Chains A and B, each alone.
Chain A
Amino acid sequence: DGGITQSPKYLFRKEGQNVTLSCEQNLNHDAMYWYRQDPGQGLRLIYYSQIVNDFQKGDIAEGYSVSREKKESFPLTVTSAQKNPTAFYLCASMNPRRAKNIQYFGAGTRLSVL
């Protein structure tokens, strides 16, 4: 089945620790995105990537880093510089040539601080 897989489902971060959230897609989509959702708020864009080895900051990139070494994978690292990391993180992908602007989402990772 084609889709987007995020792991782990739940993640706990200790003070000063970096953690990495995994996002893998087998949809052959060029573009991938990371969003953060806080209670009562919409999704906010952290980073996005239009193509392998290229990525751009979104609206709230501070304290986060990404890489895009393979088309299928777009991991997000929440660094110790992110002072309020507790949130629900969503990864998405899109094929701009086929269904412009329609993004497909993974099931999310819930990150909490210990």
Chain B
Amino acid sequence: DQQVKQNSPSLSVQEGRISILNCDYTNSMFDYFLWYKKYPAEGPTFLISISSIKDKNEDGRFTVFLNKSAKHLSLHIVPSQPGDSAVYFCAASDDDSWGKLQFGAGTQVVVTP
């Protein structure tokens, strides 16, 4: 049973515009959420995270929003750049899991000129 879901397998956005990636989860015990970026044939790289005690975390062009009541988080990339073209994974864990992450299926982002 998939506990983390990314329902949009792909997203196309123009350079300079905003990319919004969505992620839903079912396990109410999750208290830490991460976004990873992955290029083909490479390992994922950590992008940004948020703890359940916050509803927003910002790092440069990347902002993650968390809505605990809706069990939903989103990643905003503003402005989108061609180098942002990659697969983005949402991941979640709970405090007792010792770093065991549950990943979503990923969203392929393509930034067009």
Residues of chain A whose beta carbon lies under 8 Å from any beta carbon of chain B? 4, 6, 31, 33, 35, 40-45, 48, 50, 58, 90, 92, 94, 96, 100-108, 110
- Evaluate whether A40 and B32 lie within 8 angstroms (CB atoms) in the complex, with A101-B99, A102-B49, A108-B43 already known: no
Chain A residues in 8 Å Cβ range of B46: 102-104
Q: Does B73 contact A (CB under 8 A)?
A: no
Closest residue of A by beta carbon distance from B97: A101
Mark interface residues in B75-103 (1 if CB within 8 Å of A CB, else 0).
00000000000000100010000111111
Count A/B pairs, Cβ under 8 Å: 64
Q: Does B45 contact A (CB under 8 A)?
A: yes
Closest residue of A by beta carbon distance from B5: A42
Interface residues of A, dominant DSSP = strand
Distance between Cα atoms of A48 and B34 in the complex (Å): 19
- Evaluate whether A96 and B45 lie within 8 angstroms (CB atoms) in the complex, with A40-B105, A102-B34 already known: no
Distance between Cα atoms of A35 and B100 in the complex (Å): 10
Interface centre among A4, A43, A90, A94 (most CB of B within 10 A): A43
Residues of chain B whose beta carbon lies under 8 Å from any beta carbon of chain A? 2, 4, 6, 9, 32, 34, 36, 41-46, 49, 89, 93, 98-106
- Evaluate whether A43 and B99 lie within 8 angstroms (CB atoms) in the complex, with A102-B34, A107-B41 already known: no
Distance between Cα atoms of A3 and B46 in the complex (Å): 13
Closest residue of B by beta carbon distance from A88: B41
- Evaluate whether A33 and B99 lie within 8 angstroms (CB atoms) in the complex, with A40-B105, A42-B104, A101-B49 already known: yes
26 contacts between A and B (CB under 8 A): A4-B43, A31-B98, A33-B99, A33-B100, A42-B2, A42-B4, A42-B103, A42-B105, A42-B106, A43-B101, A45-B101, A48-B99, A58-B100, A90-B44, A94-B99, A96-B98, A101-B32, A101-B49, A101-B93, A101-B101, A102-B34, A102-B49, A103-B99, A105-B36, A107-B41, A107-B42
Distance between Cα atoms of A45 and B91 in the complex (Å): 12
